[in-house]
């Protein structure tokens, strides 16, 4: 069963913050975040393993709440380059068998 | 390094035809996967492999076959193409002890 992402779409002004959520009905081993620009391949952002960790680089970070089977992606001080569709992929075990959400379309405007 | 390469970039088939989508990686990655992406559906896993000689089914395997005879190559075969297989196909690879999964540029397939 696919994880559920919210919101489905969001429009930001440059410099604003956004949060994208990913929820699963299954017990998760890991959550993977990707960004895809129109007509391009998805690009890996980060992976979070069970244990409730938080990760981040630059102005993009993420958390994983193992009890709620939920992950959130935080984008702060958004830039035009952040525009794209963000996908979470979830795994219930080790290895690389991922189930992806349907994506969140993010558009950053001047 | 070329990373993950896919051929062809575009393909048009008639219903009932068969074809093979090629995928290769030069990073010595153990894990390789095939996904299809349809509008509003996100990425759906077709087949995946954890190493040469080992493959397993993903979420939507029907109508597709794979094999992994070498670490580098992971071809996807469409046995008898159907219009429902019109999609963008992505191949991806990842090392067993690394986090980053790399995607190929994709193959846009249309079945008439």
Give per-residue pLDDT as tens, A28-82. 999 999 999 999 999 999 999 887 677 777 799 999 998 899 999 999 999 999 9
Query: Residue A96 and residue B48: Cβ atoms within 8 Å?
Result: yes
- Nearest-Cα distance to chain B for A62, in Å, is 15
The strand order across the sheet containing B4-7 reads B4-7, B19-25, B76-78, B64-66
Q: Which two tokens stand for residue A108?
A: 């950053």
Query: Residue B50 and residue A2: Cβ atoms within 8 Å?
Result: no
pLDDT of the residue at B57? 96
Asked if A47 reaches chain B (Cβ–Cβ under 8 Å), the answer is yes
Whether the Cβ atoms of residue B58 and residue B47 lie closer than 8 Å to each other: yes
pLDDT of the residue at A52? 63
**In whole numbers, what is the pLDDT of chain A averaged over residues?**
92
Asked if A3 reaches chain B (Cβ–Cβ under 8 Å), the answer is no
Cβ neighbourhood burial of B1 (10 Å; 0-12, 13-18, 19+): exposed
Please, which residues have CB within 8 angstroms of residue B98's CB and are 6 or more apart in sequence?
Answer: none
- What is the C-alpha to C-alpha distance for residues A39 and A36, in angstroms, rounded to an integer? 8
Instruction: Say if residue B99's pLDDT is above 90.
Output: no
Query: Residue A42 and residue B90: Cβ atoms within 8 Å?
Result: yes
Work out how many CB contacts closer than 8 A connect A with B.
48
């Amino acid at each position: 069963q696919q994880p559920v992402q919210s919101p489905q779409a969001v429009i930001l002004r440059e410099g604003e913050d956004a949060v994208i959520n990913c929820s699963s009905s299954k017990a998760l081993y890991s959550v993977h975040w990707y960004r895809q620009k129109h007509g391009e391949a998805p690009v890996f952002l980060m992976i979070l393993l069970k244990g409730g960790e938080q990760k981040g680089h630059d102005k993009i970070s993420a958390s994983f709440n193992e009890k709620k089977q939920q992950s959130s992606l935080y984008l702060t001080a958004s830039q035009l380059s952040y525009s794209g569709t963000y996908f979470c992929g979830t795994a219930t075990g080790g290895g690389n068998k991922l189930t992806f959400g349907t994506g969140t379309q993010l558009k950053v405007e001047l | 390094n070329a990373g993950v390469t896919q051929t062809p970039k575009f393909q048009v088939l008639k219903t009932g035809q068969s074809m093979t989508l090629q995928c290769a990686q030069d990073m010595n990655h153990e894990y390789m996967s095939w996904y299809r992406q349809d509008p509003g559906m996100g990425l759906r896993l077709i087949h995946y492999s954890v190493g040469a000689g080992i493959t397993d089914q993903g979420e939507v395997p029907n109508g597709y076959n794979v094999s992994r005879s070498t670490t580098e190559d992971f071809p996807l075969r469409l046995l008898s193409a159907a219009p429902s297989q019109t999609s963008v196909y992505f191949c991806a690879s990842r090392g067993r002890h690394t986090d980053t999964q790399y995607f190929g540029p994709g193959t846009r397939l249309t079945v008439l």
